[in-house]
Chains A and B, each alone.
Chain A
Amino acid sequence: MYSSEITQASNFVKGVDTSFLIILGISFFFLIFLTVLMLVFIYKYNRKRNPKATQIEGSTKLEVLWTVIPFLLTMLMFYFGWAGYKPMLKAPDDAMEVTVYGRMWNFMFEYENGKRTDTLFLPKDKPVKLNLVAMDVLHSLYIPAFRVKQDMVPGKENNFMWFEPQKKGTYELFCAEYCGLQHSYMYSYVKVMEDSSFQSWMVDTTQVVAENIESPTATGRRIMQNIGCFACHTVDGSKLVGPSFKGIWGEEVTVTTGGEKRQVLVDEEYIRRSIFDPNADIVDGFNKGLMLSYEGQLSEEDVENIIEYLKTLH
């Protein structure tokens, strides 16, 4: 919204808002003018006041006039739409690159040094280019305060958006393209910092998000938070898209493997297989094909930390 607090949050705000406000202004003028005119006619030429109509079949002069004027106005609108949009198409060469992974139903941000987060941290006044990778279905990265949006299309190469944050603060970041069950929970935040604090945050590998890391279980939990496990799996026993993690460690579960039902013990091997080959064993009462493999996204150490965390959920 055009509230003053977020104006100029990015370099595109001016172009987008100019085109928006010009069109809105012209639209309001015509809407009010034509509505009032119509109401005046309905009142003035009501049958009670004007029992006999005057027959007028038309006027070429007027037709030309109200074709040419809307034509000129719409071309003006086109121009401002084009002018505000064109700079979005080409990112500056010196832009900082961040790869954004979208999957059902969370975002993950990966920085040039390999650091990964679930919140987008950015330096102020530096152009940033977001490379958009969709892991499963269409998503759309939308940051209203920055006036930017771009669909994330699976399989599409060189898909990106860029902008330059110009104001410190925390902004909402949504998925705007419908992507299934938890679409409305697929949102995160952009945190814009001074360049100096960003640089120290960036090189600090001990601190991935604001939380402190004390034990493998806390690390495991944080990793799972970052890669979005909890969009589908709870830790309190309630059922979402996938089975809950509560109390599964060391228990037997019924799964379907290659069309056949079997009992299987939840141990390290089972958890590893569930992460890297999630459709091999399908737990009773859940559907196949909803989860994608995390192959290549998690290190051996990450998986060990996750297992340590799962052990604690009783």
Chain B
Amino acid sequence: MNSTSVANEANYLKYRGKYKGLLGWIFSTDHKRIGLLYLYSMATMFSVGLLLGLAMKLELLAPGKTIMEAQTYNATFTVHGVIMIFMVVVPGLPAVFGNFLLPIMIGAKDVAFPKLNLLSWWFYVAGVFLVLSAILFGPGTPDTGWTFYAPYSFKTGTNLLPAIFGAFILGFSSILTGLNFLVTIHRLRCPGLKWTKLPLFVWTLYGTAWIQLLATPVVGITLVLVALERIFGVGVFDPALGGDPILYQHLFWIYSHPAVYIMILPAMGAISEIIPTFAQKHIFGYKAIIASTMAIAFVGYLVWGHHMFTAGMSGTAQYYFSLLTFLVAIPSAIKVFNWISTMYKGSINVQTPFLWAASFIFVFMIGGLSGLVLGALAANIYVHDTAFVVAHFHYIVFGGTGFAFFAAIHYWFPKIFGRMYDKTWANTGWLLFFIGFVTLYSPMFYLGMMGMPRRYYDYLQEFHGGNILSTIGSWVLVTGFVIVIVNLVRSVRKGPKAEMNPWHGKTLEWTVPSPPPLENFDEIPVIEENDGPYNY
């Protein structure tokens, strides 16, 4: 595993192939460059989504009109949801860190199908442009919410079809990435790298890839049905044509619930890498974490109905969905216990990535535990479709996936760019982000318990206090976010040069130079019997 003397003449950032400049990036089949293409595209979309979220919170600062009309507000939360879900958190960690790290972590030169990998990114960009043009051009910005529930969505957004077609293409990007990762993990592991020696991040990518491959096609099926209805007038979803609006909800959530696990599993994987490194200790319960990953990936298919407890399903269906929802909570709990146990008797170096990871555990616990309230039938009836749900899924999707993403970027930044960021600013940014996050979303639990429904442009006076606090939180969060981003962007060029292994990690990416050479390894590494991703 000695690869410090590298014969690869240039690192992947400097390498000049057939094309120069921008073309050298957008036509590159190098998995590392593709990972960064995703990073830059997603960072752009995330910033747009964040600004829309900020505008919504500002509108809710006071009852009545604050900065925008109801129509604008409804369009804002729709576009915020569409961007954040389909363009940021679903591709999320696999697209950025999976692409960059998966081949290196398993000792390969690239993914199994590099050209297909580039095609995935192109599909992503095409999907983004299609959805955005459906939003920007046409009779009006969609105002249906990101769920596009029938029949309202059939009555309003005339641009529904291009928007769903865009989501379909984004879905293809996801399917191809999943397929690529599956084959890569099965076929390209370096000699000696048994399944039981794979880093946990790779294991979560593996579980995620199966969901991407099997659940995403449902979006395609739904699109065909919507097209049949819109173009040929076949009544599938619209009750005016004899269709069933609840069928639409089923199809939507059969994909969109497993999609939640596409979002969160790789985040859990990143946390499972970061905590052992900063504790310099073997991960606690390696096999238990793998088993829980696969359990989540499997049971996650079967719980979509818990989004529909008030929609009018049969009692029996309700009971099964509630029961399975509680079952899927257990593997997540197992992971939390193992992460915290990993810290026990470790030698903890509290650096920026660790701060993000530890705060991830905290916000993820709140998100997960509030999910138990929503999984219980009686309690769900009370708080479903209220601000409580909004708080819950932001704690999971933004708190979980978002915090893990920031943990990951601070952890792998020196490897990706070969530079180190300013740690004081990084920690300051984290602190403000964390405080802002908790202040922004916690009051929403309370508002939901008071009975404030979600997707509300205006509200009664009694909900005012909680909303003020929440809006203030959004300002603190954005301040933290700006500090984090400015620090990182500045450090890409101006940060001090990073060592090969600044955190003393044990996985293979830390055995190659920072930034890695074009083909990652001079010689394919061989894993010995005593090597392991967590053998400190």
Q: Which residues of A contact B (CB under 8 A)?
A: 1-2, 12, 15-16, 18-20, 23-24, 26-27, 30-31, 34-35, 37-38, 41-42, 45-47, 50-59, 62-63, 66-67, 70-71, 74-75, 77-78, 80-86, 88-89, 136-138, 140, 142, 144-145, 147-151, 153-156, 159, 172, 174-185, 187, 289-290
Please, which residues of chain A bring their CB within 8 A of the CB of B287? Answer: 58
Contacts of A75 in B (CB 8 A): 326
Assess the B337–A151 pair: CB atoms within 8 A. no
**B151 engages A154 (CB within 8 Å):** yes
Name the 5 nearest CB pairs between A and B, nearest first: A84-B378, A81-B376, A144-B451, A155-B239, A85-B377
Q: Which residue of A lies closest to B349 (CB)?
A: A47
Are the C-beta atoms of B453 and A175 separated by less than 8 Å?
yes
Known A66-B333, A175-B453: A184·B346 in contact at CB below 8 Å: no
* B348 contacts A by Cβ under 8 Å: yes
Chain B positions within 8 Å of A45 at CB level: 279, 343-348
Q: Which residues of B contact A47 (CB under 8 A)?
A: 347-350
Residues of B contacting A15 in the complex (Cβ-Cβ under 8 angstroms): 378
A47 to B450, CA, bound (A): 45
Contacts A42-B358, A176-B385: A2 and B449 contacting too (C-beta < 8 A)?
Answer: yes
A116→B347 CA distance, assembly (Å): 71
Known: A1-B451, A27-B370, A176-B385. A138 touches B379 (CB 8 A): no
Task: Look across to chain B and name the residue whose beta carbon is closest to the beta carbon of A64.
Answer: B288
B246 part of interface (Cβ distance < 8 Å): yes
B285–A63 touching, CB < 8 Å: yes
Looking at B74, B322, B370, B373, the one whose CB has the most chain A CB atoms below 10 A away is B373
B381 in contact (CB, < 8 A):
yes
> Looking at the complex, which one of A30, A89, A149, A155 makes contact with B365 (CB distance below 8 Å)?
A30
- Shortest A8–chain B CB gap in Å is 14
Within 8 A of A (CB), among B349-406: 349-350, 358, 361-362, 365-366, 369-370, 372-373, 375-386
Residues in chain B near residue A50, CB distance under 8 A:
345-348
**Inter-chain contact B376/A78, CB cutoff 8 Å:** yes
Pick the residue among B284, B310, B369, B376 that contacts A149 (CB under 8 A).
B310
How many residues of chain B have a CB within 8 Å of chain A?
Answer: 87
Which residues of A lie under 8 Å from residue B451 when comparing CB positions? 1, 142, 144-145, 172, 174
- Asked if B372 and A23 sit within 8 Å, CB to CB, the answer is yes
Contact present for B372 and A27 (CB under 8 Å): yes
B385 A140 Cβ-Cβ under 8 A? yes
Q: When the two chains form their complex, are residues A138 and B151 in contact, meaning their CB atoms are under 8 A apart?
A: yes
Complex-state Cα separation, A63 to B327, whole angstroms: 16
CA distance A175 to B312 in the complex (A): 16
CA–CA, A159 and B246, complex, Å: 13
The reply to whether A42 and B350 contact each other, CB–CB distance below 8 Å, is yes
Residues on the A chain within 8 Å of B383, using CB: 20
What residues on B are CB-neighbors of A42 within 8 Å?
343, 348, 350, 358
Q: Which of B70, B240, B312, B379 has the most CB of A within 10 A?
A: B379
Chain B residues near A (Cβ < 8 Å): 70-71, 74, 143-145, 149, 151-152, 155-156, 239-240, 242, 244-246, 279-282, 284-288, 310-312, 315, 318-319, 322-323, 326-327, 329-330, 333-334, 336-338, 340-341, 343-350, 358, 361-362, 365-366, 369-370, 372-373, 375-386, 446, 449-451, 453-460, 536
CA A45 to CA B282, docked complex, whole Å? 14
Decide: A74 and B326 in contact? CB cutoff 8 A.
yes
Specify which chain A residues have a CB less than 8 angstroms from the CB of B286 in the assembled complex: 57-58
Known contacts A58-B288, A144-B451, A289-B155; A154/B239 CB under 8 A? yes
B382-A149 in contact (CB<8A): yes
Selected contact of B311 from candidates A80, A89, A153, A155, CB within 8 Å = A153
Contact A41 B344 (CB under 8 A): yes
Point out which of A75, A84, A145 has the most chain B C-beta atoms below 10 A from its C-beta: A84
**Chain A hits for B381, CB < 8 A:** 16, 85, 88, 147-149
Give the distance in Å from the alpha carbon of A136 to the alpha carbon of B282 in the complex: 59
Chain A residues with Cβ below 8 Å from B245 are 138, 153-155
Contact A84 B330 (CB under 8 A): no
* Residues on B with beta carbons closer than 8 Å to the beta carbon of A180: 74, 143, 152, 156
Contacts of B382 in A (CB 8 A): 16, 20, 144, 147, 149
User: Can you report 28 residue pairs joining A to B where beta carbons are below 8 Å apart?
Assistant: A16-B378, A16-B379, A19-B378, A20-B373, A23-B369, A23-B379, A24-B373, A31-B366, A50-B345, A50-B348, A51-B347, A66-B337, A70-B330, A74-B326, A80-B378, A81-B322, A84-B378, A85-B381, A86-B315, A149-B310, A150-B310, A154-B239, A154-B245, A155-B239, A174-B453, A176-B454, A180-B152, A184-B458
Tell me the complex Cα distance, A181–B280, Å. 55
Q: How far is the CA of A63 from the CA of B331 in the complex (A)?
A: 11
CB proximity of A187 to chain B, nearest CB, Å? 8
